[in-house]
Amino acid sequence: MSGVIVQMNENTWRIEDGGVRFFLLTGSEKALLIDSGMMVHDARNIAEEQTNLPIILLNTHADMDHTGSNAQFASFYLHPAEEAVYRRGGGAGEIIPVVEGDTIDLGGRVLEIIHLPGHTPGSIAVLDRDHRVLISGDPIQRNGRIFMFGLHRDMHAYIESLHKLEGRISEFDEIWPSHADIPVTTDTIRLLADGAEAILAGNVQGVAEEMHGHRITAYDLGFCTILGEG
């Protein structure tokens, strides 16, 4: 077993797994894992050390650094737009679809699903209303590198998702991303939207790089880097 466990509040933990993190949230009736790690393959065991409640799993999206322990679960929540990528990567298990506006009640703790296409078609965030926290997955980062290259990335959709979040900014006080700094402030949403729009307008100088066999362009926005098409 590996992973550094950090308690965020009385009923929430984050597990730092190398360059990615995942979360455990508990209510009065059940517990929810948000993502299942990358290097660890025992996220259920890690969760069971923190709670005796029944544990369910939700994936923010299907990138492999978020699904490392999915095999421990017979079923899990995932946006249906992620299924093709998940299955293509060899992912097994029953997908329980979740879409914009769905809620998951852990018992006195209701979580809302917000669909944020762009980074991937089915990327989702989880709004924890009671704690006024947005668990954002990959689309929101500070001092990180947001992947926006490859066939299933869509910068236009990403910008629309950021503007949608801006319209709900009064509902949360801080953001917990899957990578880089945590927590981050809500003004990060506007900074990312402005930066992504400037990239599309050709107003940000990019630097050519290679990653995972792809020729990409790294756009340094000062507070975060967006990795786009080469």
- CATH number, domain of 117, equals 3.60.15.10
230 residues of the chain, pLDDT tens digit each:
468 999 999 999 999 998 999 999 999 999 999 999 999 999 999 999 999 999 999 999 999 999 999 999 999 999 999 999 999 999 999 999 999 999 999 999 999 999 999 999 999 999 999 999 999 999 999 999 999 998 899 999 999 999 999 999 999 999 999 999 999 999 999 999 999 999 999 999 999 999 988 899 999 999 999 999 98
pLDDT tens-digit series, residues 170-200: 999 999 999 999 999 999 999 999 999 999 9
Sheet containing 225-229, strands listed edge to edge, beginning at the edge strand earlier in sequence: 145-147, 225-229, 214-220, 206-211
Whether residue 230 lies inside any domain: the answer is no
214 domain-assigned: no
Who's near 190: CB < 8 A, 6+ residues apart? 162, 166
DSSP 3-state assignment of 49? coil
Number of domains in the chain: 1
Report helix, strand or coil for 43.
Answer: helix
- pLDDT tens per residue, range 209-229: 999 888 999 999 999 999 999
